[in-house]
Each structure stands twice: as C-alpha cells, then as structure tokens.
Structure 1
C-alpha cells in the first residue's frame, strides 16, 4: 500500500486513528472497479464544501422549480423548447463555475457510455453498429452541440436498433466465448480543463441546478425521456452480463426497473448514480479486458 491515496487531504499522512476520515477510507478501498483518476476526482468533489453546504440549500429550491416547470408543460407540453439555449447555458456554467473534477467526470461520462454501447454491439451483433451521434467530447465547448440531449437519444435508439437487428437475425444476446474488447480503452483523451476564478461548484450541486433548466427548456416528452433513461442502467448491465457470463457488476446497479419509472423530482440524485454506475461498468470491462489480454 502506498504512502498516498490521493491528494487534498486524502493521504495516509493525514490518517488519525481516533478520527479517521471516511473519504480516506473510501479512497483506500479497492472493492470497486473504478478508474483511479475518476475515483479521486469523485471523492474530492463529494467531500467539497460546495456539496456539504451549498447542495442542501439548492436541492429544495431545485425540486420546487422542477414542479413549476412541469406545471408549465402541463399547459404547454411542447413550449418552451430551447435545447440550444440549454446546452449553451450548461457549457457556460461548466467553464466558469464548476470545478475541474466535476468537468472531468462529465466529459468522461460521454466517452464511457459510448464505449460500453459499442462493446455490446460488437459482441451481440458482430458487423452491425447502430447509427448514433458521436460521443467523444474533448473540451467543454463540445457540450454546446446538444450533447446531453443526444446522449439520451443514443441510448434509446441503440436499444431499438440493436434489438431490431437481433430480431432480423433470429438471434439473442448470450454468452460470447471470445469477447471483442476493442471498444474499451484505458485512457480518455481530454483537453486541459479550465479553472475559473469562481470554479467552486461540485458536480452534484451543479446537476441539481441544471435539472430545472432541463425541465423547462426541453419539451415535456424530452425531459421525461431523459430522466427515465437513467433506469436503463439495469438494462445495459444485463446485456453485459449475458455477453460476459458474469453478473457481479449487477450488484453495483442502483437505477433499476425502467418499466416502473421513478419520479422526475429525484432525477439529480439518480443522475449521480447513473454516472457512478457507468464508471463501474466500464471499470469492470477494463478489468476483464486486462485478464483476457494476459
């Protein structure tokens, strides 16, 4: 075990046996298959003062704002509809107010999700790849091109196209003896992330702030589809389990049962779980790839 488990206080040098830091314990823990850089970023983000003090103040107002936005869409389901404004607002906030750790986790997420979907397609339907929006943002400005909305569309379009192809072949998703791991990479290429003068907002607080804007500036159908895509973590996890023959990663999936949707009011917290589930599933596939390569 190394002398250091991370930075910003997450170090064995700061270990007080009479007052052990829970975040240090989580940093030292090796039970979850998560990329070390992403893990350090997540734990620094979660232990920040922003999450500790700002999030409890933001969350109730954010949920009231979601209710207000949904009341607007009850009367006018398709207006307002301003996805470009939404994404430019998100990109502006990421550039000026979010921590580098938060931005790292956001941009990584799109890469990981795309790699997992490609892994499933490569192994479930060799030679067929669903036509999806590219998801490889390198910098914050890449978010401006409706990236979040397209990410949600990709998930549903992937499920529809993949299963249509399986029906066409008269096939089903089942264990593959020789898995193709070419889609899964160890490194995610990103440009250097900015650190603005006011860059102190953590990821979870940012999500709670952005969710009401999502509810208002997208149509009712777009918002409902986006929030309920989070529960498809279970579906994607099951596909991977059937292909690999291993099911231990399913214990890490907490966004479950997409046929019984959760309330949209908890979308912010569920989005955090979605991000973690994606990191863990990708980490699980990276470990499998390493074992198969050895």
Structure 2
C-alpha cells in the first residue's frame, strides 16, 4: 500500500516557482517520505552534532595534524553502497555534476581555462572523484578566476554564453545497485559523515570545506552578471565568505548548498536549451 503524501508535500512537489529539475524534486520527495528519516535522524543528528563539536575542539588543540583522504573516501563509499538510500545516493552523484557544470560555465564564460572534471556515475567512481577534490576544485576555480567584472562585457546577453564544457545530467547514466540495507535518508547520512570528515581531515582542510558553502553567494553574483540576472543571489542561502564559521548548523548549510547548485543548474540548463533551440531555428 502506497504511503499517503501530506498536502504540504504535495504542494511543494508541484511548486515550480524555484528553478529545479523535476527528477531532482522527485528524488527529494521520496527521501522526505523515508520512514527512517523521521525516527533515526533526530536522534542521530543530536548525537553526532555533539560528537562533531568535541572532535572539532580536539582537532584544534596544538597536537600534530594528520589526514587520511583515501581511507575517508573508501569509508564513505562503503557506507553509501550498503546503507544510504538509492535516492540519497543519486542526489549525491547529481551534486558532483551540478557543481562541476556551474564552475565550468563560470570559467568558460569569463575567459578562463580552469575546468572541473568531476562527474561520477557510480558510487565506485567517487573513489576517484572524491569529496576532497570537489572542495579543492571550487577553491582553485576562485583562485584562478580573479576579478569578477573585468572579463565580462557590459553588453553580454545570455545568447552569447558558451557551453563547450557543459555536460547535461542524464539520470540514465547513473547506476546504483539497490540493497535491502539501504535505508538511510540524505540528512541522516550526512550527520554520520560529518564527524568522519572532521576527524580524517587536517583542521584547516575541514575549516575550509565547511566554509566553502559561503562561496555560493559569490558564484550567484558572478553568474548573474554573465546572464544578466541579479536575482540569482536569492538562491544562495550560504553567504558572506569572509565570515568564517564553525560546524554549528552544518547539516542545514550543507543541504542548502545542495539546493543552490540544483537551482542554479536548472536555471542555466533552461538558458542552454533556449539558446540551442534558437540556434537551430536560425540555421534552418
């Protein structure tokens, strides 16, 4: 018997006010309807939030720093393979693709050569396209971009955007082997990962990783200038990158970062398809 969906969840699943692809909405709605989310998540989030702050404090004591990137990634992939729900795994894989596309679009349309090639299609692919690399690519992009205004023409319009590095997301390309043990929703899974990341990264690596979300506002400003849409900043929950934060409220900030990349990807993909259709019509 199918689970009854509440009126509110029906409302948000049909609300298209914010740009987001239907498949991403459906994955998230399925994740929200995960029964374990409403039972396990509050308990685990409380426990691991306390543990995270303890680990954060210990890592910042004057002890020798250490990291274990490969072990971290192997552990995450093992956990995803056996315990994280298929919907949550697909959302994780989509996030790699959405952010890679956004950073490549930004570089390509501001005259820079930096490109990101993190497009895992399976859980095993994430052993190479790692979460650590995902963060470093974001920082490298901003280091190499420089000033945001200079490369952008004042007369530039969305029809002048280039998409050579853009890789449209096709859900058929993702492959997740379903197992009966895959019961954990996206947020519960992230609660489990937080402490592991903090413990197995050096203190500055982890601090940079959890503050990288705040570059969402900068990305929105820069791409807004390219496509002449200053309202993109409204999509960014995480803002003001000069203000460094700790692990407090990390789960929500991480989730809002995921929504931001989905929204921005959908907005740009719509522009790309319109431009492609116009180009086809002009050449006909």
- Mean CA deviation greater in 137-146 or 111-120: 137-146
Q: How big is the shift at 1:51?
A: 1.8
- After superposition, the Cα gap between the structure-2 partners of 1:283 and 1:131, relative to the gap in structure 1 and judged at 3 Å, is closer
Q: How big is the shift at 1:268?
A: 2.0
Counterparts of 1:143 and 1:264, CA distance in 2: 24
Alignment match, 2:87: 101
1:140-179 C-alpha deviation (Å, 9 max, x unpaired): 012223610000000111001111xx59xx9344552311
Alignment match, 1:282: 265
Contact 2:96–2:134, Cα closer than 8 Å, also in 1 = yes
1:86-128 C-alpha deviation (Å, 9 max, x unpaired): 1111001100001110000001111111111111111111xx3
Alignment match, 2:229: 246
Alignment match, 1:187: 169
Q: Which runs of 5+ in 1 are unaligned?
A: 1-7
Alignment match, 1:52: 38
TM-score (norm 1): 0.86
Q: Please, which of 123, 136, 140 is the counterpart of residue 157 of structure 1?
A: 140
Q: CA RMSD in A?
A: 2.1
Asked whether 1:130 is paired with 2:100, we answer no
Counterparts of 1:268 and 1:226, CA distance in 2: 13
Q: How big is the shift at 1:290?
A: 2.3
Aligned length: 272
Counterparts of 2:9 and 2:254, CA distance in 1: 21
Q: How does 1:202-217 map to 2 (within 5 A)?
A: 202-217=185-200
Q: Please, which of 20, 33, 44 is the counterpart of residue 34 of structure 1?
A: 20
The list of structure 1 runs, each at least 4 consecutive aligned residues, that deviate by more than 6 angstroms after superposition, is: none
- Mean CA deviation greater in 238-247 or 183-192: 183-192
- After superposition, the Cα gap between the structure-2 partners of 1:146 and 1:73, relative to the gap in structure 1 and judged at 3 Å, is farther
Asked whether 1:110 is paired with 2:92, we answer no
Q: How big is the shift at 1:75?
A: 2.4
- After superposition, the Cα gap between the structure-2 partners of 1:110 and 1:203, relative to the gap in structure 1 and judged at 3 Å, is same
Asked whether 1:92 is paired with 2:74, we answer no
